[in-house]
């Protein structure tokens, strides 16, 4: 059964953030952030378990993914996403009981959001992309550079045309490389709807372009994260598939307390939702979580 059935929108600062939601209005909030190339529909298997566990689930389309709107200019780097998440969390009544879950880029946003807004998020769960310090530890290896080739391809002015060619064959290739046992077809259908034109696609690629040409607010965010020593300032759970073709599982050696998901690729919430929920329930029932550096 698919739980995420009700779309809605929130407007702030001239932009619209669209999201899927389910659960009782008075239940604790679980805010779920998708990655690239993905949409909030990928949270459906996990959302069902969260609602049954008593959470109110909210899963937004990230900035630039329709029906969320792009921003004017090139404001699509990490800081802009953190502002979006904080604004949505406040509207949804986030507090110390709020659960923040992020996958891929959504994980990177979650680290920064938890660091900047510790009053809005009680616990943090991330999948498939570790905190900046751990990711930096493996990024210069040949094996990881080979996996991350697409981030360099996205800097090219023709990247948008490459992606849409042959009915998004480029993105199908990424999904297949990252999770070989997962059929990407239904998720690509959602992606085509989320990236209907060049404006939205350029906005989605803006995250990767900001990696090489960050604006001042992104540079300030990176400085804050560096000063924090890679810590996540909340109880935290990290899950990573051992067969992840996007970020190699060797990164787990740099994440104390990180949980390996054996035989799982880059999309654990789709490939092993029951296992993810099992770890999540244990984490929520524990007295404390783990932070990098502990």
pLDDT, tens digit (0-9, with 9 covering 90-100), for 227-286: 556 667 679 999 999 999 999 999 999 999 999 999 999 999 999 999 999 999 999 988
Q: How many CB atoms lie within 10 A of CB 93?
A: 14
% of the chain surpassing 90 pLDDT: 73
Q: What pLDDT is recorded for position 10?
A: 65
Q: What pLDDT is recorded for position 289?
A: 47
pTM for the predicted model, two decimal places: 0.92
Three-state DSSP class for residue 101:
strand
More confident residue, 214 or 58: 58
pLDDT, tens digit (0-9, with 9 covering 90-100), for 89-105: 999 999 988 999 999 99
Peptide bond into 37 cis (omega under 30): yes
274 burial (CB, 10 Å; 0-12 / 13-18 / 19+) is exposed
pLDDT, tens digit (0-9, with 9 covering 90-100), for 13-67: 667 889 999 999 899 999 999 999 999 999 999 998 999 999 999 999 999 899 9
More confident residue, 83 or 172: 172
Q: What pLDDT is recorded for position 2?
A: 41
Q: Which domains does the chain have, with CATH numbers?
A: 6-285 (3.40.50.1820)
């Amino acid at each position: 059964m698919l739980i995420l059935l009700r779309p809605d929108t929130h407007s702030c600062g001239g932009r619209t953030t669209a999201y899927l939601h389910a659960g009782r209005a008075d239940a604790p909030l679980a805010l779920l952030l998708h990655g690239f190339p993905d949409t909030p529909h990928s949270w459906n298997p996990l959302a069902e378990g969260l609602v049954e566990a008593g959470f109110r689930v909210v899963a937004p389309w990230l900035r630039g993914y329709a029906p969320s709107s792009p921003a004017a200019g090139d404001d699509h780097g990490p800081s802009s996403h953190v502002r979006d998440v904080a604004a949505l969390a406040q509207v949804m009544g986030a507090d110390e009981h709020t659960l923040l879950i992020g996958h891929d880029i959504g994980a990177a946003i979650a680290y920064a959001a938890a660091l900047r807004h510790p009053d809005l998020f009680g616990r943090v769960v991330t999948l498939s992309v570790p905190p900046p310090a751990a990711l930096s530890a493996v990024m210069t290896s040949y094996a990881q550079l080979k996996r991350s080739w697409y981030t360099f391809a996205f800097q090219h002015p023709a990247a948008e045309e490459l992606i849409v060619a042959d009915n998004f064959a480029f993105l199908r290739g990424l999904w297949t490389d990252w999770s070989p046992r997962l059929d990407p077809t239904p998720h690509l259908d959602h992606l085509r709807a989320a990236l209907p034109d060049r404006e939205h696609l350029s906005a989605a690629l803006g995250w990767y372009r900001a990696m090489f040409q960050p604006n001042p607010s992104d540079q300030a965010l990176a400085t804050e994260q560096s000063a924090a020593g890679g810590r996540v300032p909340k109880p935290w759970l990290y899950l990573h598939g051992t067969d992840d073709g996007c970020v190699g599982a060797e990164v787990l050696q740099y994440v104390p307390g990180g949980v390996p998901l054996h035989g799982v690729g880059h999309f654990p919430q789709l490939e092993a939702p029951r296992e993810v929920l099992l770890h999540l329930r244990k984490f929520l029932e524990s007295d404390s979580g783990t932070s990098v550096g502990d």
